Structures are given as C-alpha cells and as structure tokens.
Structure 1
C-alpha cells in the first residue's frame, strides 16, 4: 500500500476522532476516487458516511470493502459490524441478518457482532433466538460474580426459554 493511501487513511481517522466528520467524509471521498479498489479506503469511506447518518450512502462502500482483499482482522470486524448495523438501521433486516451471521461465522469470538445480530434477530421477529443469544453473550463476557453465580440457570434458559418445570 502506498504511503499516500496510508497518510490519507490516517487523516480520515484523525478527523473522525476529533469530531470533524465532514472533513473525514471529504478526505475519504477524495481517497476513494483515487483508490477505488482499496478495501481499507472503502471501509473508511463507508464509516465516514455512517458517522454522519448517511447510511444509504455507506452501504456500497462497506459492501465493496468486504468484497476486496486487504483488510486486517480488526477492519473486517468493523466492516461486518458497520454494514450489518447500517442495513438494520435502514430496515433492511434480512440483509442485516445475512451480513451479521457471516460476520459471526467468521469471527465467533467477537462479541459486538453477536450483540448486533441479537438486535437484528429481534427486528426479524426471532425473539427467542435474540434473547437466547444475549443471555449467552452475557455469560461469555461478564465479570460480574453475582451473574456468574447463576450461570448454570442462565445457560439452561438460554437453551430453552419456554422450559417449565412441574414438581
């Protein structure tokens, strides 16, 4: 990757960190025009649009980023999360579900993808799977000793929320 691409990405990231979102978008669009086949640039351009609430405009950039080689593991996390979340925000739930499931399949230990997948499952009417997924996420990520003390019961209900025990 040429230094100009690296420098451009650094400028985009810095502008976003400083809250200069319009500058980040302008930089990203300029860099995207120069390097349309660079996955990292496409990712940053999608993110720049997303940061400004321009979700529809973000989709093609996120999609392009996923279709190209060159993203790090962390960047792929971000693209799956960005695209899946953007689809969800736009009410494109089936596309969100497909994207987030792909992301979870590729990165089963990346908890934020699971959280966004649970939200999309809820939007798709898959309430049991959404709650089950969130319960498992809590069990997998909590450091709270009191929650951990109930891990057996929580895990049992995560497997079957409708289970009733009669004595």
Structure 2
C-alpha cells in the first residue's frame, strides 16, 4: 500500500491527524500529485479546518485531477466556501461545476443552499423542488411530479 492509499484508509477510519501527517509529508515528496492535494483538502475539511482546506482544493483543481476526484474537489471547495460565508465564491464554483458536470445533481442542491444564503429564496426553492420531483422514488411525489415542476417557479403567484 502506498502513502496515498494509507492516508485515505486512515481518514476513513477516523485517524485524521495521522492521515493529515502522511498527506503533508507526501506533498513534500510529490508536490505534483493532484490526488495528494485533493486528499489533503478533504482531511482538513473533515477535521473542521475549512479555511486551511481551501488552498489544497484550489491547487488540486489547478492540476490534472482524475475525473471523479475533480468532481469531489468542486463539491468540497464550493461547500467549504459556503460554510465560511463566502457565498459569491461558492456560487461561482458551483456554477462552474454545474456547467462541466450537468448530470451531477448534488451540485444543484448545494447551489440551492448558496442561493438560499444569498436570500434568493425563490430560486433556491425552485431548484430543490425540481431535484425532489426528478429524483424521488416516493409514490406520492411521483404522482404529483408534474404539479411540483409547474409550481416550482410560481411559489409566490396567487391565482384569482
């Protein structure tokens, strides 16, 4: 098992300090390893060291990060920025992620959270309602899927 795999296993088993130590050492040995940058960001995030995670996410995204990890890095960076109240930056990250990966619905949901934080309540609700209608397997939701879609952008409209 290499150091990156060991660090991931340590993180997954809750041995966060150990994982962080292995990853920081790995970055000194392999500064061009995008997966190490991403995993380092992730472990900082899990340790609630959000501010420290940001430069690791950004560096990972600047590099040739593998497809699945790149998707995770977008989500991690956008979510971290949102939790720090950096809503406009988070919004831009999620907009970029949505444009690159339009089928990844989780970006839409996190984007809705950002829009909620920016007081764009109608837009946030519209996004969440559409995601609910499109992804729920609940019989009742599916029965009223068309109505949910129809009303998703008309929440403030009052019919006479």
TM-score, scaled to structure 1: 0.91
Match of 2:86 in 1: 92
Match of 2:66 in 1: 72
Displaced runs of 4 or more, over 3 A: none
Return the match for 1:30 from 17, 25, 30. 25
2:112 counterpart of 1:118: yes
Return 5+ residue gaps in structure 1 as ranges. 1-5
The 8 Å contact of residues 87 and 117 in structure 2, kept in 1 or not, is answered as: yes
Query: Over the residues paired in the alignment, what is the CA RMSD in angstroms?
Result: 1.2
2:44 counterpart of 1:49: yes
Deviation, 1:72, is 2.3
Return the match for 1:63 from 35, 58, 64. 58
Provide the C-alpha distance between the structure 2 equivalents of 1:9 and 1:138, rounded to a whole number of angstroms: 37
Return 5+ residue gaps in structure 2 as ranges. none
Matched length: 160
More displaced stretch, 29-38 vs 96-105: 29-38
TM-score, scaled to structure 2: 0.95
